Structure 1
Amino acid sequence: MGRTALIVIDMLNTYKHEDAEVLAPSVRKALPGVKALLKRARDADAPVVYVNDNFGRWRSHHGEILDAALSGPHADLVKPIAPDEESLFVVKARHSVFYETPLAYLLGQLGANRVVLCGQVTEQCVLYSALDAYIRHLDVVVAVDAIAHIDAGLAEAALRMMERNMSAELRSSGDVSFEHASEIRRSGMNDLHLRQRGE
């Protein structure tokens, strides 16, 4: 009966780091998918949790992290997907969204047993976050058109690993549902009844 939470990984990026200019075109390509997921999640009243690096600024809160990203050279990649007032925010310091963060506890409080991952980068933070979600017995969905990479080959390998080793569902943003599990099951039963009746 659990809920689905959207996890937005490291999208508040200053783009002032090594590989930033290689990453930016991939982020631009993923941006419509991230925006679509945000809309679908908010329309369904599903939890939206931004989990973001703090850029080593241990005194920063989420507003300062957002301001730093918006003052960077690629503010156009940040502004369209900035958190709204209802979004939740978790600061991380390493690759996984779960490592030394309260995310697992937060998801428990929200009643979420399924997570949809989007953001950057596929072959690093998304991959390790999917693994940590899987070992916590969470159902994992990776929105393949809403993730960005630095190395295309490693990203493709990471997706195969997530699907094969972590039982992750690979879906496009338009195919991701944020309905409650009970609603999904009810919808599935309705579809079954229609098929049985030949409708």
Structure 2
Amino acid sequence: MARTALVVIDMLNAYEHEDAEALVPSVREALPGVEELLRRARGAGAPVIYVNDNFGRWRSHHGEILEAALAGRHPDLVKTIAPDEESLFVVKARHSAFFETPLAYLLGQLGVRRVVLCGQVTEQCILYSALDARIRHFDVSLAPEAVAHIDADLADAALRMMEHNMSVRVRPLDALTFDSAEPDA
């Protein structure tokens, strides 16, 4: 039976970049949705995979990325969604969670055919990751309440494009499930 995985994109962030102040309010709004998806995925025994930028620190690993985020300007946006001992971690250097990373291979090894995406930034990394997931024949779902944006208009356009052009299931948070037998309603 095909499995569903939760992919948490770029939530380990020190918020020390050019667009941080525009992003932070949206992250605060999305945080409860990300927390809820983490709770549901873990409760269902679904794989939870964090895919995160390394912020140009080429000798970093997931512990260092988490430490830098917790020491950053908004540790309150990181503490409640930090990886647990069961979480998997993939480092990325560009916008897509799949571009030149082992994510597709890892999902294949786990028997995953459907991914639920959450995190930031809707109009950038979420959009490109959704496209790359579809190109690799994964089913993709996401809840607008669990993704954060820099530009609300571009985020709305990205959500419409994902749903209409990429067949991404854009559903309310309450409609997302990690039961592989039942895709989102």
TM (norm. structure 1) is 0.91
Gaps (5+ residues) in structure 2?
Answer: none
CA-based RMSD of the aligned residues comes to 1.1
For residues 75 and 12 of structure 1, what CA distance do their matches in structure 2 show? 9
For residues 43 and 89 of structure 1, what CA distance do their matches in structure 2 show? 19
1:14 maps to 14
2:102 matched to 1:115?
no
CA-CA distance at 1:13 after TM superposition: 0.5
CA-CA distance at 1:180 after TM superposition: 2.3
1:35 maps to 35
The range that moved more, 167-176 or 26-35, is 167-176
Which contiguous aligned blocks of 4+ residues in structure 1 show a shift greater than 2 angstroms?
none
Give me the identity figure in percent.
74
For residues 16 and 41 of structure 1, what CA distance do their matches in structure 2 show? 29
Pairs aligned (count):
184
For residues 69 and 128 of structure 1, what CA distance do their matches in structure 2 show? 23
2:68 matched to 1:65?
no
**1:85-141 deviation digits (Å, cap 9, x = unpaired):** 000000000000000000000000000000000000000000000000011111010
2:83 maps to 83
Richer in helix (by share): 1
**1:4-58 deviation digits (Å, cap 9, x = unpaired):** 0000000000100001011000000000000000000000000000000001001
**SS state at 2:123 partner:** helix
Does structure 2 conserve the Cα–Cα contact (< 8 Å) formed by 1:34 and 1:173?
no
1:131 maps to 131
**SS state at 2:30 partner:** helix
CA-CA distance at 1:173 after TM superposition: 2.2
1:196 maps to none
For residues 76 and 132 of structure 2, what CA distance do their matches in structure 1 show? 31
2:51 maps to 51
CA-CA distance at 1:172 after TM superposition: 2.2
CA-CA distance at 1:147 after TM superposition: 0.2
CA-CA distance at 1:174 after TM superposition: 2.1
- Bigger radius of gyration among the two: 1
CA-CA distance at 1:143 after TM superposition: 1.6
For residues 143 and 86 of structure 1, what CA distance do their matches in structure 2 show? 23
